[in-house]
Every structure is written in C-alpha cells, then in structure tokens.
Amino acid sequence: MLKDCIGIFNQKFAEAGDALITDNYTLDPGTYILVDLQGQIIDQKDVIKNKFERIGFDDFIERDYLSKLLDMNKPIDGKKVIHSNNFLSFWIKKDNLLPDNKGNTKLNPDIINNYYAILSDPRLKYKGKSLEIYNTIETSIGAPDLQILEFCKTWITEHIFSFIDDPKIKFDKTYLKIFFIADLSLYRQESQRYFLPNIYNTTDYNVLVNNQIFGLPNNNMGMNAKKPYLENKTRIKSKVPYLLSTDDVYMQKKFFDYLYNYANQGKTNVYFSTDCNDPDPIYPYESNRAHTKNLNGYFLRIQKGKELEIRDYDLITGYSPDLDQFTIRQAILLPKDAHSDLAYGDSLNLKSVQQLINSTFFRKFLTTNYFTDAGDIRLNDFRVKEELLRCRNGFFTWFYKGDARTIKNLFPKSSLELIKNSIGNGHFIKAIEQFNVRDGFITYFKGGTSMADQLVSIRQGLREKINSTGDHSIESDLEYFYAVGQITNYYLSKSKSNQPVYSTVNPVINCKTDEKLKDLVKRLFLKYNYIIQPSRRFGNLQSMIFSYRPDGPIDSTTLIAGYLSQNLLYESSKETKIQEEKTNVK
C-alpha cells in the first residue's frame, strides 16, 4: 500500500520536482544567516517557534532542505554537534557556542576541522558497502570542490565564535544556521554525496542484483537484535522485510520528506485518491478533520517525531462524508425544564455524528485521543475511559475511513455501559440524551423498528392497564421490563435520604436473572412501602409485574428506558386523557 501511495506522489513529483516539497517546507526555529563568496553577510533572519515562515526566506528554504541530516544517527560530525550535511552549510544549536563553568564549549576547532576533513574526503567516513556506494556517486558527480570548501571552512573558523557577541542573536536552544551563496545545483550535488551512502537503514543488508543495489530503507524501519519480529522469517537467504533499489529508496525519502512537512503543520490525516481524473490526488487535513468528498484510495495517519511516523494506514473504498438519514429522535422525552443541545430530527452527516458521539458519550475526549497513549488520557471516570479505549479505533475507522463494520457491532453494548454509568453517577438527563443517541445509532445501522416507536405503544398499553379497573396482565417481555423500570423509578423517588439513590438502582439495571430482579423489586417495596399511598395505578402495576414470567433474558435496554421515562404513576388525570386522545387520533 505504501508503494501505491508513493506511486501517486511520484506522478506529482514528476511535474513539480523538489518544489512539491519546498513549497510547504517548515524551517526550524532559530537564526538564519546567508554569506556570499566574498565573506559578507547579506541576510540574517529569525524563525519563530511554531510559525510557518515563507515570506523573505526564499534564499534559505531549498538550501535548508538540501542540508538536512537524514537523522541524528547519521551525522557527518561524529560528535553530533554540527547538524548539517555539506560544506555549504553549517548548523549548530546556539547554546553549543556558550562556555560552561570551565570555559569550554561543545563546539571547538577540532570538531570543525574534522567536519570539513570528512566533507573534503568522504572516504574517511565510509567503509565496506557504504564506500562502494560513495565511489559510485563520486564517479557520477565528481569530487568535492575543495576551493569552495576551504573558503567555507576558513570563514566558519574565523567567525563562528564571534556570534556570541551579536546583540541581534538570542542564545537559546534553537538553531544557528549559516549558508553560503552557491548555485542550488551545487547544493543538490553535495546533498546527494551525503544522502545516497546513508539512505539505507544499514548497508549490511545491501545486495547487488543485475548491477543494481537493493537495500533496507530507513523510513519507519529498524533492524537489530532487539527487533527480531521485524525479520521476514519465511525467507531463507535474507530475513530483511523488504528491499528497495537506490532510485526507489531515494524517491521514498522524498515522499517521507513531503509528508513530514504536513506533519509539521499539524496536518496528520492524508488521503490519496486513485481517481485518475482527480486534479490533485493528495489531500492533507488537520488531525480533527476528515475528507470532505467521496473517495476511493488510501489513508495515512502521520505524526511528527524524531522522524515522520506513520501511525495508521488503510485502503479506502466508497468513503462518503454524507450519511443516509441518520437522525436522532426523542425515544425518551426530556423533562419539561431540561435543556438539550441535541439536534433532534435533523439529518446528520459523518462529521456531525462524530461531534455528537464525542460530546454525548465521551466528554469530548474521543476526538483528541484517537492515538494518545492510554496513560496520557486525563479522564477521571474509569468507565468512560475504558469504553473510549475499547471504541476509539472503531470510531476512527468509521469517521475517517468510512468503514463502520467494527463500530456498528461494538458500540451498542459499549454505549449501554456508558448509559448505566451515567445513571450510577446521577447524571439523569445525560443518560436520557445518551439513550436517544444510542437509539438513533442502532436504528441507522440495524434497521427495524426504533425504540422511539416501540416505546410509544408499550407506554400507552401500560397506561391503559394501570388506569383501568379489572384484571390485566403484561403481554410481552418488552412491556414487562419497561414496567420494572417504571416501578423502580417510583420506589426510588420516595427516598427521603440525603444520600444519593443512584447506587441503589445499579443492581436492578445490571441484574442477570428474572428471579433476582423480582427479589430486588420486592426489597425496594419493603424499604419504601411505609410512605407509599395505596392507589389503583400502583396496585395494578405491581401485581402485573409479579405475576409475569418473561420468556427471554433480561432486557436491560428496555428496563433502563422505563426507569428514565416520565413515570406513569405520577401522570395526572389530565395528562393521561391527553395521551389517550393522541393515541386514538393516530
């Protein structure tokens, strides 16, 4: 899949070249100095941290890109004090110029001399297969220009320590980067002199096939004794996961450089379109944004680290930001004085559903923690955090890749646990909102009759039975569990204790057998019967509950619906009449 993404990138790179990378290139914070070949400083600018600089930095951007190290484990300077890769540039951290308590500085003349010695004769650095690669490169591009190199070395030796007294330079942990004016073609040549011998993870795995070098790439890859799981155990001659030619690995480097720019800008979701008619097939978005059009292709989730990291990747088929009739209805009505921000009745798209799930169930911790290490998620409610960790990958796959297969099977159970958690913590209105959103979610994916429709008939049937004279009985498991929820709500409403009653309801909504459920209801009656006024409604409801034996297992969803719904035992005669008239009209 990575190969396919690089292939899409190659099409753009063939048209734009390095400009495809440098047009979005981000400069490191620090001071940038440009020196001409007469030794005069002709430009000096500062880059501020977290600010994407373009205007006024044209002379620096491409030179900076061509002078970067592949990573800090592959420096020219073995002491890792100088961070540039060619003699036309000189990069150090500013604080490496400052003396310590003994008057010593990390940068010293020996380090400078050694840096330029290696650049003047790279054979001092390379051995074995790396030396073979370098010899091939030098045959192609020629030896270093020692005259320009010596000029650059002399200038740096004479001037670098004088910058300590420059009042325009703030000495901190940012960079001091010095560049010498030279044609960009010379920068490209010298960058190749560094890149190609170092571009592989290690040359130990290099092989020669038909006069072409193949080796293990360096991007997001490591091979050593501590990582035996990266070996391809099925290969006999080579355990290396995969090998690339020099041309391919160089293009892969360009691809990772391209993505690194976006990671620097916080654009961590990158989509690749396989539509040949797409004028721009690569779409980068910030971490909380998904693609805004239909797409077939690939998805990469990237992150800036010591190098570009690919945290997630997938094939995308039939992605669409729109949903067909995803709506939320009031399966359970909110109390009249309750406020809700839910958009009941509106047709929602994928982005809106993400925001809805995030705020209703996960306290707005979901969208910012798709890839956060579990220990770094500062969420105090253990149950919410547990369900977030259980569901986040499924939600990310749906919201950002359009694949709902995992979450549509996972979330009904997980959301029920979150509703129980809200009830247990006394968040009654929150639990109602969660129930309604859950019902919309299940109806959208599972189809069939929604709870919003089922509860209307269940509630009306139960209303008629508890308000009439004569003998009546519960006719279905759904009606039974709804009735148990109603009478549990009624009992607990009679509590005179200053202590919350929420913990009392937990055994009821988590009960596993009907025998235990009836026992719990009986205990609640015995606890609160002293304050219950005898009435036809209460008597009818209680007798029907104790005389019914359900056919199936405990239906926690319907029981919770009964508990959260407005209690029929408290319904006024006027309200009962209005509801009956509404039903007759229907």
Q: For 140-168, write each residue's pLDDT tens digit.
A: 999 999 999 999 999 999 999 999 999 99
The pLDDT score that the predictor gives to residue 533 is 85
Burial class of residue 429 in the structure, from the number of CB atoms within 10 Å of its CB (0-12 exposed, 13-18 middle, 19+ buried): middle
**Could you tell me which residues come within 8 angstroms of residue 27 by beta carbon, excluding any fewer than 6 positions away?**
47, 53, 57, 60, 61, 64
In this structure, what is the dihedral angle of CA atoms 87, 90, 91, 96, given to the nearest 10 degrees?
120
Residues 181, 163: Cα–Cα separation, whole Å:
19
Residue 436 has pLDDT above 60, yes or no: yes
User: Bridge partners of 212?
Assistant: 209
Instruction: State what percent of residues in the chain have pLDDT above 70.
Output: 91
Write the DSSP symbol of residue 449: -
The pLDDT score that the predictor gives to residue 201 is 78
Q: What is the tens place of the pLDDT at every residue in 187-216?
A: 999 999 999 888 887 777 667 677 767 777
In this prediction, residues 427-444 reach a mean pLDDT of 96
The pLDDT score that the predictor gives to residue 499 is 61
Residues 547, 525: Cα–Cα separation, whole Å:
16
Q: Which residue has the tokens 């592989």?
A: 200
3-class state of residue 212 by DSSP: strand
Assigned token pair, 51: 């600010």
Q: What is the tens place of the pLDDT at every residue in 379-422?
A: 999 999 999 999 999 999 999 999 999 999 999 999 999 999 99
Q: Give a three-class secondary structure readout of 64-116.
A: HHHCECCCCCCCCCCCCCCCECCCCEEEEEHHHHCCCCCCCCCCCHHHHHHHH
The pLDDT score that the predictor gives to residue 581 is 47
3-class state of residue 252 by DSSP: helix
With bands split at pLDDT 50, 70 and 90, how would you rate the model's confidence at 573? low
The pLDDT score that the predictor gives to residue 251 is 92
Residue 264 has pLDDT above 80, yes or no: yes
- Is the C-alpha dihedral spanning 45, 50, 51, 52 positive or negative? positive
Q: What is the tens place of the pLDDT at every residue in 526-556?
A: 999 899 888 899 999 999 999 999 999 999 9
Residue 247 has pLDDT above 90, yes or no: no
The pLDDT score that the predictor gives to residue 366 is 97
Residue with the larger pLDDT of the pair 464 and 241: 464
pTM: 0.85
Residues 481, 489: Cα–Cα separation, whole Å:
12
Give the chain's radius of gyration (CA, Å).
34
- Cβ neighbours of 409 (radius 10 Å): 12
Q: What is the tens place of the pLDDT at every residue in 481-505?
A: 999 999 999 999 988 776 656 678 9
Contact (CB, 8 A) for 371 and 393: no
The pLDDT score that the predictor gives to residue 229 is 42
- Cβ neighbours of 185 (radius 10 Å): 8
The pLDDT score that the predictor gives to residue 241 is 60
